Structure 1
């Protein structure tokens, strides 16, 4: 476990310290038991002293009960500490991800983040718990058992001094060989989880194209590769047990030989030999425990590296001191803006964009696929930062704003509409969690969603399933528009958000915008000319550059790209209702 991750232990430090403490007490009791057994054999049984046997027998029972009690308490403390540590780690990763910009999130796949918060943290939790219990127990047991053996027979104690380093070196060698394979396994887990997630999310497409067989084959291929990697890693780790067994039985044979000779010459008692054998077993079993924990630590080490990668990822957009917390109006200015997803020196998606939008204006954006329409609007709420130039909202560079304050005044209905599991009321209230039922229903009327919502048996209390798969594409778009309107933003951005509704509904939504939110700046990205034809200004984008700005009539006279789109849709019947 590295220092960064151990910071997440926090309020569970007490349990993390108490667990090894109670393990120490447990081990002390267990180490003293063989000495008492030796006394019973050499003094009580050898001399036929029954009262002595009963006295020492009672002491043995008390020691055993205390060892049991301390073991139970230590186990409980370790379990609480490990579960709490895992809880805090999940909290820290999740909160870290919330701070990420889109650029940061692009470094990790969705399935990769899910694996880190589930499988990887479970691996670390198990390794931490076993470390508190077994890794704390083994060294104490080895040292105390060796010391007790030294008191009984120094020759045998010297034998252990040779065996323990040899065995420890073998275990470390095995661990180093297996570790790279475990690292690769969890990278492949990300791919496996991504395959499952993709298949479930796109289940309708898979079934409609009858591609279940292809998806099964793809899953089996990845699953088989994970199996091979795990088998290879576990195959190396499997050497732990035979090595341990070989060493253990070799030690026992040597012990019997040395002890037998000592008993024959009268330098050692039978009870002492029994005690030495018990101590030998305790030392060997402790080392076996270490091998078990080593396997868990090897697996956890691979998970630790992956989690550390998330926690050390620096959020691209750091909060500024004295950041501006109030957006004055919805005015927008793009000043010589260049943007590249790869950062400085990368291929530019936007090139020298200069644009001025007045508060309350309705702006249409049109252009071919890949012309960077979505990229342009994502710079306004600072989902990405410009590579060169500046974007200003309300006369202030967006980088000077407090992010929460800025985004609270910019509502975006993204190209890919997302609804969450919960009722329609709960989904709309993402725009304002304190909104009344009447306010929710009002924005739904503006977004032309009220009609179909009331047709549901449970109306606004209808539950949306995961991904919003129980409503149509057009219904989902209208609910997302209603959610955005509930924020009462100064800027409303619709990124191709009415593509799934008919032209009549689209026109009603735009009329509601004009009449109900005249002071809100509205930016509409659309493929249909009819969706933006009545905008105050229309921006034509081509390969990341603005190649035309004006009203629909002006662009028909001056811009060939707009004229071609207009004629192909209007004259070709593309907008017929």
Structure 2
């Protein structure tokens, strides 16, 4: 999967990668040439007292060193540019894929895991690309070129390379084989820490209300300890890697000096040749060590790439139409025809054979007990889910055939849990209509019964809103979410229990304002309170995912047992009349 991702996302950067390879090659050739010049100075300069030769070769060595440094800096610069660009593109690709997911796929992965995959996992892949751009050419060049150059200096000592290199590879391979499962487990435990932390930050009020700080502290400590345990295990293996490499390198160096000294004493080689051979052996082992460092990064990057690949290769259950309908003739008509929805693996459908229609200028209300499928029903309309049976039509066209942008432009959805983005009141209200004027914003706020409290806020429309709208009350957050939908001026309004945080007086005033100002639109209201829907033109009663009654309040109160039970549990006899 790592190679697949790199092949896909590195295509635009092949020219830079070639440049990196060229500069690494020049750097490696310079490194391989320097020991032979050093040997030349010792054998032909120092040994013979030839100062001009020493000076000449020394200047050449200095020039090659400067070239080597310049090539190294340039290679690292281009390599960093490629790696950072890859990280940017990979994060963008994950975000684009996730943005097309239905709620089913988002729930399948979980928000904490998706965040980890977009940040930490991408960082692991990015790091291995950076190190590859830095070492990919130089490491094998130093290892292979060093062997060739060392053999040119003295074949008699070559058996030391034949022993030290395999020993190093076997030791490193054994350590790496144990690190892969630890890295896989580590990423999962990072997901767990993110999950617990996100829940605690989001649910801080509940935690404090139920005095569960100690429990949540212990819960986080447990997840943190598990991650630490895995990280320490991986760290121990990581720490073992370099001592093993250095041990092999130092023992090999001692062996070269020992046996090379014997050959110098016997007159088989010169001192400069021995020094060059020792430098080449060190370069060979350094090349292996750099490859080893790559080997340390690769297992974790491979695990991260697998996790990223899972996201990128997951297909959304909400499939985009091949030939989308981009224009509609009817205005605001919604029809459910034998609509059925069942979660994958579930024994029973959540919604069963729902058939009804919502018309422009009319209010359709949906009521039922908790778990009856009300929210799932309205989620089928903007295609947060797709029906598993039957169809949902908007303006006479199946929503699965409509152009997504057209479909979403027709619908103004106020979700059950309204969410506000960090910014200002105005930026939140303009979310669905960026070019809305201030007059339009104030009109929407007036209808949503939010004008008064926004006027009281410092800076009015420019008042700051924190992430999630946590600096305003639940009722204010609901009214701002309703105003946001009103600014959009869609053909179809969907209010998913959007008045639950409002007092009855505000609820009544808001409904009257809606009836007066947006009377030509189709309005679908999901509610728990009967008082919210008592004036609806059509009330649909859901029970266990099935429609058990359709009619007005008066009709259902007289003829439908389920609705009558809901009414009797909420309203007095006088209010029900």
TM-score where L is the length of structure 1 = 0.96
Tell me the SS of whatever aligns to 2:418.
coil
- Counterpart residue number, 2:258: 257
What CA RMSD, in Å, does the superposition of the two structures yield over aligned residues? Answer: 1.7
- Counterpart residue number, 1:295: 296
Q: Larger deviation: 54-63 or 513-522?
A: 513-522
Shift of 1:208: 2.9
Shift of 1:159: 3.3
1:318-359 CA deviation, whole Å, 9 max, x = no partner?
32232112343221221112111216x742101121112222
Aligned match for 1:341, one of 330, 340, 343: 343
Written as runs of structure 1 = structure 2, the 5 A alignment for 1:478-497 is: 478-497=479-498
Shift of 1:172: 2.6
- Counterpart residue number, 1:48: 49
Shift of 1:398: 1.0
- Counterpart residue number, 2:25: 24
1:232-288 CA deviation, whole Å, 9 max, x = no partner?
223333332233233223322332233122212212000010111111111112222
1:364-409 CA deviation, whole Å, 9 max, x = no partner?
1111000000011111111111111111111111111111211110
1:273 maps onto 2:274 in alignment: yes
1:88-112 CA deviation, whole Å, 9 max, x = no partner?
1111111111111122212211111
Would the aligned equivalents of 2:24 and 2:134 in 1 still touch at CA under 8 Å? Answer: yes
**Residues in 2 aligned to 1:448 and 1:27: alpha-carbon distance in whole angstroms:** 72
Q: Larger deviation: 269-278 or 198-207?
A: 198-207
Size of the aligned set, in residue pairs, is 574
- Counterpart residue number, 1:378: 379
Misfit runs of 4+, over 6 Å: 572-575
Would the aligned equivalents of 1:5 and 1:89 in 2 still touch at CA under 8 Å? Answer: no
Q: Larger deviation: 245-254 or 445-454?
A: 245-254
Would the aligned equivalents of 1:341 and 1:349 in 2 still touch at CA under 8 Å? Answer: yes
- Counterpart residue number, 2:133: 132
1:406 maps onto 2:395 in alignment: no
- Counterpart residue number, 1:36: 37
Shift of 1:502: 1.3
Q: Larger deviation: 252-261 or 488-497?
A: 252-261
Uncovered stretches (5+) of structure 2, i.e. residues with no partner: none
- Counterpart residue number, 2:323: 322
**Residues in 1 aligned to 2:348 and 2:243: alpha-carbon distance in whole angstroms:** 57
Written as runs of structure 1 = structure 2, the 5 A alignment for 1:192-211 is: 192-211=193-212
- Counterpart residue number, 1:507: 508
**Residues in 1 aligned to 2:522 and 2:366: alpha-carbon distance in whole angstroms:** 13
Tell me the SS of whatever aligns to 1:519.
coil
Written as runs of structure 1 = structure 2, the 5 A alignment for 1:423-572 is: 423-571=424-572
TM-score where L is the length of structure 2 = 0.96
- Counterpart residue number, 1:61: 62
Pair 1:318–1:352, CA change in 2 (3 A): closer
Q: Larger deviation: 402-411 or 232-241?
A: 232-241
Tell me the SS of whatever aligns to 2:400.
helix
Q: Larger deviation: 158-167 or 416-425?
A: 158-167
**Residues in 2 aligned to 1:516 and 1:155: alpha-carbon distance in whole angstroms:** 97
Tell me the SS of whatever aligns to 2:269.
coil
Q: Larger deviation: 388-397 or 314-323?
A: 314-323
Pair 1:549–1:5, CA change in 2 (3 A): farther
Pair 1:239–1:64, CA change in 2 (3 A): same
Tell me the SS of whatever aligns to 1:478.
helix
**Residues in 2 aligned to 1:5 and 1:196: alpha-carbon distance in whole angstroms:** 32
**Residues in 1 aligned to 2:276 and 2:573: alpha-carbon distance in whole angstroms:** 98
Would the aligned equivalents of 1:338 and 1:348 in 2 still touch at CA under 8 Å? Answer: yes
1:230 maps onto 2:249 in alignment: no
**Residues in 1 aligned to 2:407 and 2:157: alpha-carbon distance in whole angstroms:** 74
Shift of 1:158: 4.3
Shift of 1:415: 0.4
Would the aligned equivalents of 1:337 and 1:353 in 2 still touch at CA under 8 Å? Answer: yes
Shift of 1:197: 1.3
Q: Larger deviation: 17-26 or 230-239?
A: 230-239
- Counterpart residue number, 1:88: 89
1:503-547 CA deviation, whole Å, 9 max, x = no partner?
121112111222211221101111111100000010111110111
Pair 1:196–1:573, CA change in 2 (3 A): farther
1:185 maps onto 2:186 in alignment: yes
Shift of 1:199: 1.2
**Residues in 1 aligned to 2:111 and 2:134: alpha-carbon distance in whole angstroms:** 34
**Residues in 1 aligned to 2:170 and 2:574: alpha-carbon distance in whole angstroms:** 79
**Residues in 1 aligned to 2:185 and 2:413: alpha-carbon distance in whole angstroms:** 39
**Residues in 1 aligned to 2:101 and 2:14: alpha-carbon distance in whole angstroms:** 29
Would the aligned equivalents of 2:24 and 2:137 in 1 still touch at CA under 8 Å? Answer: yes
Would the aligned equivalents of 1:334 and 1:392 in 2 still touch at CA under 8 Å? Answer: yes
**Residues in 2 aligned to 1:241 and 1:36: alpha-carbon distance in whole angstroms:** 30
Shift of 1:573: 9.5
Would the aligned equivalents of 2:318 and 2:384 in 1 still touch at CA under 8 Å? Answer: no
**Residues in 2 aligned to 1:136 and 1:227: alpha-carbon distance in whole angstroms:** 35
Would the aligned equivalents of 1:13 and 1:81 in 2 still touch at CA under 8 Å? Answer: no
**Residues in 1 aligned to 2:108 and 2:507: alpha-carbon distance in whole angstroms:** 37
